[in-house]
Chains A and B, each alone.
Chain A
Amino acid sequence: MRSKSVSFLQILFLVVLSTAPAALIGQTSLRIAAAADLEPVLPAILTQFEQETGIHADATYQSSAALTAQIQNGAPFDIFLSADLGYPQKLIAAGLAQGLGDGANGTPIAYAHGTLVLWARKDAHLPALSMDLLRRPEIQRIAIANPDRAPYGRAAVAALQKSGLYEAVKSRLVTAENISQAAQFVDSGNADVGFLSLTSASTPRLKAEGNFTVVPTSLYNPIEQGAVLVTKAPHRVEAKTFLVYLMSTPVQQGMREYGLTPSRPVP
């Protein structure tokens, strides 16, 4: 009995020792807080970035509001890529983040525009997707991201209100924590349709399994996505390098492929 417990302690000790160096190495890479709609987009950009600059970056994907709260409370991120401009502005106002360049502290860097789509599984056998389809009684559950904290959720509610559907469908809305979870709700068949980001709808999986229609952009305010440098960024130089890279023509050009619109006209 006694020798068994000693050996268990020894194993624990070894595990702790062997993982310690890994934790130290981990500290040298860039940490990016990214809005959930970037989950299908950013990994490829980060891989390319590492190949070109040798800088390794790790990303954390959550709703823009959750990331803002974490940065406010000292989370050790270098860069925040929000799905809107409001949260980055809030961080700038609090002195916790800044734009690019030493003087330009005041505004987030608009790096892309998001697009809202209405998505349904092919095997749901719905007629052609449109906003009006939502009136139908067979649409029992409509997934949206939380409008209080996810810019795509806010856009979805705005689109429903502007098309006069909100009151009619309000009781059928199911709210997901972020835009990726909204995709999960529809993709698993639990919701009939969902308001998703074009970035989700453009992933190979959702492309194969479903159909989507782009929600008319006249129905919601543009989803302008903003980036900021976290003021206390542990890796300032690398973080600036990444933001410059993100705004470079090849990266901006590539964004369409993933369902984002470049922030400025690119050739």
Chain B
Amino acid sequence: MDWQALTLTLRLASLTTALLLLIAIPLAAWLVLGRSRLLPLVQALTALPLVLPPTVLGFFLLVLLGPRTAIGRAITALLGHPLAFSFSGLVVGSVLYSLPFAVQPLVAGFASIDSSLLDAARLLGAGPARLVRTLLVPLARRSLLAAAVLSFLHTVGEFGVVLMLGGDIPGATRTLSILLYNQVENFDYPAATRTAAVLLTLSLAALVAIYAAGQARDAGQVLRGRGGTRA
């Protein structure tokens, strides 16, 4: 088992999930609360990575972030190397690739919150930042969890973007999915089966743990809530 590929994948997925939540929470809040005419356009743009085949997305990033464009040259000057074939390049690719998986559940969660609560908070003088912090996020916890889990898993299973952008460098861009692909392509089916088993077991364990924790917390809240009404 190639532990380097495993830790690299977990590092990539964790970092991507953290960045995505930072981006997706304000973005989703704006999509739900905002009044701009641009809303449908922005909403459509955030869903677009679902349409593009991952390899095509990876290819566009390879060209767009490469040293032949102004953006690419700026990045190269900033980092000292092009984004392609580096861990930071994979993070950028993963954030774009998994963006819909973070934004869509949050938009659904935020939109399902009773609007009278929001109106009341606004009347009491809460600004958008406070609305998000004290109302949207606490009330949409399940959606937040869903967004985090989906982003994480989608990044763990990411393949096409990494294949196009990564260059298969051990310790930097050889993720589990690339390793698995290499093993399959090299006809090393026993190793591929082991890698796939590790990937599936870990993901299953993590998912069960997260959903169990979510369920336990919900149950706790229901109990606390009942206690409150009785008192």
Contacts and interface: CB of A to CB of B under 8 A. Distances in A.
A184 interface: yes
A63 B167 contact: no
Interface in B126-181: 163-164, 167-169
A185 B58 CA distance: 12
Interface string A49-61: 0000000000000
Contact of B167 (A149, A176, A189): A176
Nearest to A188: B66
Interface of B: 59, 62-63, 66-68, 72, 81-82, 84-85, 163-164, 167-169, 182, 184-187
B48 to A, nearest CB: 22
A49 to B, nearest CB: 29
B185 A190 contact: no
In this complex, which of B72, B184, B187 has the most chain A Cβ atoms within 10 angstroms of its Cβ? B187
Contacts of A181: 164
B66 A146 contact: no
Contact of B81 (A140, A148, A175, A188): A140
Contact of B68 (A174, A177, A185, A189): A189
Interface in A74-113: none
A189 B67 contact: yes
A233 B167 CA distance: 35
B185 A66 contact: yes
A66 B68 CA distance: 31
Contacts of B59: 184
Given A174-B85, A174-B168, A175-B167, A69 B62 contact: no
Contacts of A148: 182, 185-186
Contacts of B63: 188
Nearest to B182: A148
Interface of A: 63, 65-66, 69, 140-141, 143, 146, 148-149, 174-177, 181, 184-185, 188-191
Contacts of B167: 141, 143, 174-176, 185, 191
B185 A63 contact: yes
A115 B29 CA distance: 57
Given A190-B84, A190-B85, A174 B169 contact: yes
A175 B185 contact: no
B62 A188 contact: yes
A148 B72 CA distance: 31
Contacts of A63: 185
Contacts of B67: 189-190
A146 B187 CA distance: 14
B108 to A, nearest CB: 20
Report, nearest first, the 8 A-B pairs whose CB atoms are least far apart: A174-B167, A175-B168, A190-B84, A189-B67, A189-B68, A188-B66, A190-B66, A189-B66
Contact of A141 (B62, B85, B187): B85
Contacts of A176: 167-168
Given A66-B185, A69-B184, A149-B186, A190 B62 contact: yes
Contacts of B168: 146, 174-176
A148 B82 CA distance: 26
A149 B66 contact: no
Nearest to A185: B167
15 contacts: A65-B185, A65-B186, A66-B185, A141-B82, A141-B167, A146-B168, A146-B182, A148-B186, A174-B85, A175-B168, A176-B167, A184-B62, A188-B62, A189-B72, A190-B85
B187 A69 contact: yes
Given A141-B82, A190-B84, A190-B85, 19 more contacts: A66-B185, A69-B184, A69-B187, A140-B81, A146-B168, A146-B182, A148-B185, A149-B185, A174-B167, A174-B169, A175-B169, A176-B167, A176-B168, A184-B59, A188-B63, A189-B66, A189-B72, A190-B62, A191-B85
A175 B66 CA distance: 17
In this complex, which of A149, A174, A184, A191 has the most chain B Cβ atoms within 10 angstroms of its Cβ? A174
A155 B63 CA distance: 27
Contacts of A185: 62, 84, 167
Contact of B82 (A143, A177, A184, A190): A190
B163 A177 contact: yes
